[in-house]
Amino acid sequence: MIIGDRALAQRANFKYTYDLAGEWKTATGLPFVFAAWVSTKQLPDDFIKKFDEANAYGLQHIDEIADEHYNGVYDLKKYFSINLSYELDEEKRKGMRKFLEYLETANS
């Protein structure tokens, strides 16, 4: 299995490719959450405020960020603005819980 940028660069070399998020959605009806910012302790309000400001700044400058990190393999503007979703809504929380349930079952 190859994931991430290396997978995008290698797509033409394989007969079959699968989109993990799409396969998860088909199997469960729920979105797949690849990453989330989490903490095991209460974070200071000023940290959360600065973090939210940094996130907002990044979202407001997607085109510039995509241009700075151009890799010639994939349209990063499309990826950052269409393929990625930045809100952790209730459906995504359900998807995360389902994934954790599967992990728990697999490990028991």
Render pLDDT for 46-58 as a digit per residue (tens, 0 to 9). Answer: 999 999 999 999 9
Spatial CB neighbours of 74, under 8 Å, sequence gap ≥ 6: 5, 8
Query: Rounded to the nearest 10 degrees, what angle do helices 90-106 and 20-28 cross at?
Result: 90
Mean of all residue pLDDT scores within the chain: 91
pLDDT over 90 at 105, yes or no: yes
pLDDT of residue 106: 92
pLDDT over 80 at 5, yes or no: no
pLDDT of residue 40: 95
Spatial CB neighbours of 17, under 8 Å, sequence gap ≥ 6: 7, 11
Give the residue, 36 or 72, on which the prediction is more confident.
36
pLDDT of residue 95: 97
| Cβ neighbours of 5 (radius 10 Å) | 11
